[in-house]
Amino acid sequence: MLAVLGVGPGLGLSIAHRFGREGFTTALVSRTDARHATYRASLAGVDAPTYTADVTDEAQLRDVLVRITADAGEIDTVYFGPADATSGPGITPLTEAGAVALRTSFDSIVLPAARLVETVLPGMLERGSGSLLFAGGLSGKYPIPMLGSLAPASAALRMYVLTLHAALRETGVYAGILTVGGLIERGDIHRVFTAQDHGFTPGTLDPDDIAEKAWSLYAERDAAEAEFNALAAV
């Protein structure tokens, strides 16, 4: 069973499709239920229960994981997609970002990931199996000034997952990260960005291609990271 935390119409839904093709029940979690009916319809033939929770809220995160387990059984795999730049206060240039701006990014990206691991990892270790998949930003690996205050949190998430991967190597539990640079087609950021004239067009990425690699990471369990770079300047 796969829990997709932070599902959207782009990568999260593609992850659900890809794992659903392999017979996984895919529990979908998002902040509101506004698009849940559409998600379930697009996953015809896949057991895809939907849940509403803000995964950046500790109590809501723990509660939704309990509900998923009660409804669908033990969670074999979790996919965590951090809150995107269209929500919250947005991006602050790093030259202007103080501690509060940086803490806000950590609160929405790194801490929820750590709380998720804290909640599901003990059971996985006890069973000797399970997978933890995360999506992160390319600014966590390369300097991308335009992503400003998101970069330190992206870097922290990336290193957190890479270190988890190394620490779990002999346990039967896998951790890996999808490091993404570019606009993901069909996603909310892609929709918001393309609705405005920014004077330039960053490269785009097909979420189905990323989801296919996510499945490879899950199945092969050897590499800790897959990078997707559609940013010509990086």
Q: pLDDT digits over 184-234, tens only?
A: 775 555 455 455 554 445 678 899 999 999 999 999 999 999 999 988 655
DSSP letter string over 159-202?
Answer: HHHHHHHHHTTTTTEEEEEEEEESEETTSHHHHHHHTS--SS--
Residue 28 resides in a domain = yes
Encode pLDDT of 134-179 as tens digits. Answer: 999 999 999 988 888 889 999 999 999 999 999 999 999 999 999 9
Residue 216 resides in a domain = yes
Q: What CATH number corresponds to the domain at position 59? A: 3.40.50.720
d(CA 128, CA 21): 24
Residue 132 resides in a domain = yes
Instruction: Give the global pTM.
Output: 0.90
Count the domains in the chain: 1
Residue 234 resides in a domain = no
Residue 97 resides in a domain = yes
DSSP letter string over 96-131?
Answer: T--HHHHHHHHHHHHHHHHHHHHHHHHHHHHHT-EE
d(CA 113, CA 26): 19
Q: What is the pLDDT of residue 196?
A: 56
**What are the beta bridge partners of residue 177?**
134, 225
Encode pLDDT of 99-116 as tens digits. Answer: 998 998 899 899 999 999
Please compute the mean of the pLDDT values over residues 43-61 and round it to a whole number.
Answer: 95
Q: Are strands 77-80 and 50-52 parallel, antiparallel or unpaired?
A: unpaired
- Burial-class residue 37 by CB neighbours within 10 Å (0-12, 13-18, 19+): exposed
Residue 140 resides in a domain = yes
Q: What is the pLDDT of residue 85?
A: 46
Give the domain range for residue 115.
2-229
